Amino acid sequence: MQDLYMELIGLSAGICTTVSFIPQIVKIVKSKHARDISLWMYVILTMGIFLWLVYGILSSRISIILANGVSFLLCSFIITSKMKYRR
């Protein structure tokens, strides 16, 4: 039972941290502004997410692979948008 609760908490946590990038993408695309966003933050974050993805693949944990695979794509999109709307 404790395990079920834990997996539900982990699943909710993964969904939150993954979908959180969507409002930021919507904001950049709508406003065409990304000046206040730190490029370094997203470069380091995307590296970290990539390492989590490798960790997930090595440990064959589908939830880690899925959450970090999607986050990796979303953060890469934010990096591209930041480069485009630098000012």
Kindly write down the DSSP assignment for every residue of 4-34, as one continuous string.
Answer: HHHHHHHHHHHHHHHHTHHHHHHHHHHH---
Q: Is 60 in the site for its own copies (CB under 8 A)?
A: no
Q: CA 87, CA 85: separation in Å to the nearest integer?
A: 6
Minimum separation from the CB atom of position 40 to its own copies (A): 4
Beta strand extents in 31-80 (DSSP E only): none
Q: Is 51 in the site for its own copies (CB under 8 A)?
A: yes
Chain residues binding its own copies by CB under 8 A are 2, 5-6, 9-10, 12-24, 26-28, 31, 33-38, 40-42, 44-45, 47-49, 51-52, 54-55, 58-59
